Amino acid sequence: MKYIKNERAYALLIVLLIVVLILSISATFMAGSLNNAKQEKSVDVSNQSVAAAEMGVLYYSTDFERALDQIKQEVLDQTRLELNLIVECLKSSNKAACDTAAERTAWEKDIDLRMKKQYVQKILIKLNELIKINGVATEPFTATKSSYAAESWKLIDVTYTASELTTVDSNLVKRIVDAGKLKITANVIGQAASSPKNLTTLFTVNIPATFLNPGEVYNVDQEIIAINEDAKYQDIFKTQTPTKSCSTLLAEVVANNARAPFECLLTGTQKLSDFVAQVNLARLNPKDFWVHVEDFQNNVCSSNCNSLDFLGTNVVVKATDTGASNNMNNMVNGNLVINGTLSASQNLNNLGKNLSKQTIVLKEINIGGNIKNLYYTNLMVLGKDTGTDSRLNVVGQFQIDNYSNLCMDIDRISAADLDVLASKIEVTNSGQIIYYSVDPNKTFALKGLNAAYRTEMFVKRSSSYSNFLLNCGITMKSTQSVPISSPIVIDTDFDFEVGY
């Protein structure tokens, strides 16, 4: 058999061509993959820069708001000290600067304006602190090699020179106060690798309309007192309970056959809420009625004594009534006189939360839990008829907060309880402790950290018993007392915007 051999190598050529084609296709795919990976890396880096910038915005806005909270408290404290100077003037022998209402009003207006300026000054000082660290980078996560920094801090919407800003010039401060707000911008730079991202941040701070609250006052006696004699302890805790029913009294008042004070007695199953509804229907004011109750639990409370709404009336509880023996939280809208001891085994929290001023008057208090979040409430502990051992005992936390007063006749209260109270009580914002003693040398002072400063800020002595009652919401006689505004508790009116 004869074989024919072909030596032209077509098969080899075809194999080589296939190999070249495969390599070309592979190279194309590899190039595409490398380019895609490069693009993804670029996007990742850019995203990391944006994230770093956003982290910087969050940091600077939080820091700025924290600084504003601190400034607000500093100005509130200073306002209280400034108002105390008016009180000292009224109590001094030389009243040349405060003996007329016009002078006191002008003084308060001056304090208010200076507090606004102080508020702006402190904000500008904070701004200068930020300017000094312009461009200083913070690296929150070292593994990512990303960082953020702020620069170009400046005021907008107000004209100023660099010198006016760095020296916190008084003219600049006045222009900002007149404008009622200030706006601050900054560029926050986030950086990952070598790809920076800028975010523009705008901080807006509104200046409070006032730092004083003329609706909440501290009354100071002048030397000249009206001819009515001073109110006495016995004027508060009357020995006799009225026998006239509240329905009978209301009918007499409607017929114009009764004279104030309007005092009546609720008995049996009669309810305070029903009586108040009848008073309102007669278009009378519930605040004019002093309602004595036979049984506090039945006449005033429902299933328990939490969330009581006195609807504006004055409720008087007899000494032998132990109806308020558990929680009495969230009480609003009234005055409560307990001719004995308020003994709650648990808490007395969240009083006055509806922002309506109320007064609780009692001889002794013995709370097994806490007194917390006391708002718009006067809590008066006047002691027993005789002796110096009346109880003022709160086992848990004791807090006096916004527009609330703890009022004490320290001559009648146990010295041991006063000593414990001085160490544990917390007074915040516009809260106050007001006390009275017939002995001019007997005082009450807080203890613990910054005791002298806190005592000056939050503790006041009343010069007469009637003024003591008046400052805690009970008017028993006409006096020539001078009202001094309280410092207002302002919110930090702050906002910020971010421009991408």
| pLDDT for res 446 | 96
Q: What is the mean pLDDT of residues 366-393?
A: 90
Segment among 52-56, 386-390, 425-429 with least mean pLDDT: 52-56
99 or 147, which is more confident: 147
> Tokens 């990742």 sit at which residue?
44
Q: Residue range 19-37: average pLDDT?
A: 64
Return the axis-axis angle of helices 272-281 and 246-254, rounded to nearest 10°: 10
- In whole angstroms, what is the distance from residue 177 CA to residue 231 CA? 45
* Arithmetic mean of pLDDT over the chain: 82
Is pLDDT at 328 greater than 80 in this prediction? Answer: no
pLDDT given at position 155: 92
411 to 195, 343, 389: CA distances (angstroms): 73, 21, 9
**Strand 481-487 versus strand 212-221 pairing type:** antiparallel
| Sign of the Cα pseudo-torsion (281, 283, 287, 291, in order) | negative
Token pair recorded at residue 101: 């209402």
Angle between helices 101-132 and 170-179 in degrees, nearest 10: 110
Residue 264, Ramachandran bin (φ over 0: left; ψ between -120 and 50: alpha; else beta): beta
Task: Inform me whether the pLDDT recorded for 477 exceeds 50.
Answer: no
Q: Which residues contact 350 (CB under 8 A, 6 or more apart)?
A: 329, 330, 372, 373, 375
Q: What is the mean pLDDT of residues 347-360?
A: 79
Residue 54 identity (one-letter amino acid):
E
83-125 tens-digit pLDDT? 989 888 887 767 778 877 788 889 999 999 999 999 999 999 9
Structure tokens at 216: 């909440």
Average pLDDT of the segment spanning 318-329: 64
Question: Which residues are registered as beta bridge partners of 218?
Answer: 484
| pLDDT score of 422 more than 80 | yes
Instruction: Tell which residue, 392, 434, 438, has the closest CA to residue 415.
Output: 392
Q: What confidence tens digit (pLDDT) does each residue in 251-296 have?
A: 998 887 887 678 899 988 888 889 999 998 988 888 888 899 888 8
Mean pLDDT score, 22-50: 60
Per-residue b or e along 417-432, where b marks 16 or more CB atoms closer than 10 Å to that residue's CB: beebbbeebebebbbb
Helix (H) or strand (E) holding 219: strand 212-221
CA distances from 213 to 79, 117, 402 (A): 11, 18, 12
Give 194-238 pLDDT, tens digit per residue. Answer: 678 888 889 899 998 888 887 777 777 654 433 334 567 877 777
Nearest of 422, 415, 409 to residue 474 by alpha carbon: 409
Q: Return the exposure string of 215-250: e unless at least 16 CB atoms fall within 10 Å of the residue's CB, then b.
A: ebbbbbbeeebeeeeebeeeebbeeeebeebbeebb
Which pLDDT score is estimated for 216? 76
Residue 74: pLDDT band (50, 70, 90) is very high
**pLDDT, greater one: 496 or 208:** 208
* Concatenated DSSP letters of 131-148: HHTTT--B-S-GGGTEEE
Residue spans of alpha helices (H) in 341-431: 415-424
Checking if the pLDDT of 377 tops 60, the result is yes
| pLDDT > 70: percent of the chain | 82
| Predicted local distance difference test score (pLDDT) of residue 34 | 57
Q: What is the mean pLDDT of residues 10-34?
A: 68
Nearest alpha-carbon partner for 84 in 490, 486, 488: 486
Task: Identify which of 29-43, 269-283, 331-345, 351-365 has the greatest average pLDDT.
Answer: 269-283
